[in-house]
Structure 1
């Protein structure tokens, strides 16, 4: 009897060890980079306003820089959601929506109504939502979409055979209508983004509408993940029509994914930072740069580039990310950057303007998760007038922020310093 009990205990420990080893294996599969990451400093880089810079950026990232586009920016949900819904309601052939967050609520119902109305009218409507980011989406909302004729799919839904990919999320925010008009930015389909960002309950964000040839680049980015999720290839004039020039702007839409081209997003930021000669204005909801990117920013300051950095203030959605970010602030302030903390609400912007010429915006945050783990999509706009307009937007945001000095950063309580340091140790997964 004693021998039997001993055997049971041993087999129990063996089974527990096997389960633990399997769990550790799953964790390592999720955390281990799938491609070799950027490790070495980039340089020298031509000025962002030069033809050489555009030639390199337009070749290295995949999609070319294309002329003939019109780009409009929308500030906060009060402007963003009406513009997106109007584009959906005007669709004649196809609507493709990819989002990280789709939560149930009033905004969700507005989108369901618009999407299903178009689907019933014969428009091909597809929605791809990230499984992890859209866990607060009720099944009734999914059922309503599908009952209305919308093809709804999750990106990397949780299953035993997807455990090695659960940490790879689509953080892209894309809406493409008829292959002619496309939106990107930081907004999720949720009530938290509605309003004017003038109180803690409504987030500060922006979205960009692109009309012209670059919209088809964004259609191709959507198709990349739709193909991954469903195996369906989207072809024909409903998705890639002949598109005439809609404006005068040179635009490039590009994407990154750990399954291929994971370095694209960080590479573009590094090219822009190292190509800066005059100024960098950066609005970063999650500012947690790795050592390579931090060195690039400090190198720009040493070259005499003026850097203004807008980061969240008292309202945050992750105290761990906030702590890791604060741990990085000292290096920037000591090197001469001017920093500001947004006050009215939660800041969710992702925007960078370089030398009053290059505007970079989209879904990517300024952190390792966006640079290496998430699927992201951004646009580059090469135009001085558009950059001047976006600089005005940044100036208006700074007017609602409080400056931060290095002396103020140093006066953090010791407990906060410890928490910030601990948070920074997990920065590769934030």
Structure 2
């Protein structure tokens, strides 16, 4: 019996390996191209020159900014988009305002309610006559190749490409294919397109942490991300468009006739019909669509959020990053160089927010340089707790190096609670279950309350070495203050625990032990990590939170342990301990 099972597994593995190595013939690709083109709808729902675009505050602000800009004095309008519902409305408003073109680039495009609604908006725009291009990383491009082909064949004005596909397939359909990829194409498997862009008519552009999935828009009943986008109107959007075009025309971006599973499906079934299945929560979608049709109300919201500013900078990795291994990534690479310069420019304060506090060696050196100054700036860091995080592996590494972050890098760290009391999260929209929780997914930096960076970069080794990333840098105190306010709100005592050194006696033991064991890649077994979690306790002598460096800290804060709200008998608790002790070898890929 065991022999037969082993033989079956071996044969399955061999079949997958052979499928991965076979090539797509020009004849099959040409036939698939013909079938796809013939299957696309050509019907239009609008004959107007503006393709029935719905003018709104965003499009008017873009026209005004471009009209008043010069090369020496560019003008922009900026919106910092915090809540999931604002983020969803912003995307729908942008799509409906499109007159000529829509370019969408993302890491994840799911098939849940929010993703299907956005896809239907994009197809509706194509039917109006707008040219729509969609580029998705292979690892999370819908649920199946069937959906990919259905989307690509929906209309002649819509094109879809898949980025960096493994085994020339649009979709990996089973775990064995991932296992084979980890052996046969390990480098390609790790080189992912994490860039997220939505560009309309070369005048409105949006980037940030959000993918196209319910979790990012307050629509998941069990778990949601607290994220951040930046929407920009003005001349810098042309730079975003140029970046998208480089990706779109890259040899790593593949259309359906270049993908084996898509070609096979087209040859056997033609262009499949796009699913018209009912939404999971149809009443919620109807309520959202009714609100999205109220242009005046949304214009009022955008007016309150809008900040007029001058120079705005867009930085992004390009597909060329994937021609090099991690050892070839140099300090002078434009993206990392710009971030390093922003950090180095800090005079008094830097606020950093990231879901995964696992810093590259280069990033650590940047912060060490700040601390080595005669008067080092304050460094405030917001991230996830073990109770809130969606990634125990990265949290285990952040926990391992807690002493280094606090003592050598000068970090004042705050970890988000899983059930924060006052953050930008719509419980009603989420249809939240009793045990639902949230986690930080935003990636932002604010320097001296004058410079704001919002984008996709997690400031971790994976973002530095493997993924392509994008960000917007705005040098404007109004924008920086808005982003700082939102980040600091997540660090308030009702939303986050404060990380501070252990009591004095244990702290001294930690210092002595960890100075030797912390550098070990494995067998770092010491159970305490120098710093632990505290909860602020207000009172007459403690009217407001203070830094852990304040002499009043101990009397104003209550010790709550290393992993508050995580049961010591839970798998999460024990896996994190194992990861901290044994997982440092995974650091380059986190």
For Structure 1 versus Structure 2, the TM-score category normalised by the shorter chain is: 0.7 to 0.9
- Whether the 8 Å contact between 1:270 and 1:293 is mirrored in structure 2 is yes
Q: Where do residues 25-424 of structure 1 align in structure 2 (5 Å cutoff)?
A: 67-134=74-141, 136=143, 139-140=146-147, 143-144=150-151, 146-149=153-156, 150-159=158-167, 163=185, 165-195=188-218, 201-228=223-250, 229=252, 247-257=308-318, 259-260=320-321, 263-303=333-373, 304-313=376-385, 314-335=387-408, 336-343=410-417, 344=419, 345-399=438-492, 400-407=495-502, 409-410=529-530, 416=576, 418-424=578-584
Per the normalisation by structure 1, the TM-score is 0.76
Deviates most, 153-162 or 360-369 = 153-162
How far off is 1:425 after superposition? 2.0
How far off is 1:135 after superposition? 5.5
The corresponding residue for 2:30 is none
How far off is 1:96 after superposition? 0.2
The corresponding residue for 1:427 is 587
Q: Distance in 2 between matches of 1:118 and 1:416?
A: 46
Q: Distance in 1 between matches of 2:395 and 2:588?
A: 14
Q: Distance in 2 between matches of 1:415 and 1:171?
A: 27
Q: Distance in 2 between matches of 1:293 and 1:310?
A: 16
- Determine helix, strand or coil for the equivalent of 1:159: helix
Q: How many residues align?
A: 358
Closer, same or farther: CA 205–214 of 1 in aligned 2, 3 Å? same
| Structure with larger RCO (C-alpha < 8 A, sep 6+) | 1
Closer, same or farther: CA 338–127 of 1 in aligned 2, 3 Å? same
Structure 2, unpaired ranges of 5+:
1-9, 22-70, 170-180, 256-306, 323-328, 420-437, 503-527, 533-561, 563-572
How far off is 1:181 after superposition? 0.2
How far off is 1:418 after superposition? 4.9
Q: Distance in 2 between matches of 1:130 and 1:66?
A: 36
How far off is 1:141 after superposition? 6.2
- Whether the 8 Å contact between 2:317 and 2:335 is mirrored in structure 1 is yes
- Determine helix, strand or coil for the equivalent of 1:117: helix
The Cα offsets for residues 143-194 of structure 1, whole Å up to 9 and x where unpaired, read as 1453144211110112269945332111011000000000000000001112
Q: Distance in 1 between matches of 2:402 and 2:110?
A: 32
How far off is 1:200 after superposition? 5.5
- Whether the 8 Å contact between 2:321 and 2:468 is mirrored in structure 1 is no
- Whether the 8 Å contact between 1:321 and 1:423 is mirrored in structure 2 is no
- Determine helix, strand or coil for the equivalent of 2:388: coil
The corresponding residue for 1:241 is none
- Whether the 8 Å contact between 1:200 and 1:346 is mirrored in structure 2 is no
How far off is 1:195 after superposition? 1.7
- Determine helix, strand or coil for the equivalent of 1:426: helix
RMSD: 3.0
Closer, same or farther: CA 230–270 of 1 in aligned 2, 3 Å? closer
Structure 1, unpaired ranges of 5+:
1-11, 24-63, 233-245
How far off is 1:105 after superposition? 0.5
Q: Distance in 2 between matches of 1:200 and 1:354?
A: 34
- Whether the 8 Å contact between 2:216 and 2:227 is mirrored in structure 1 is yes
The Cα offsets for residues 249-307 of structure 1, whole Å up to 9 and x where unpaired, read as 31110112462495333222222222211111000112211222112213213331101
Q: Distance in 2 between matches of 1:207 and 1:375?
A: 17
Q: Distance in 1 between matches of 2:73 and 2:396?
A: 40
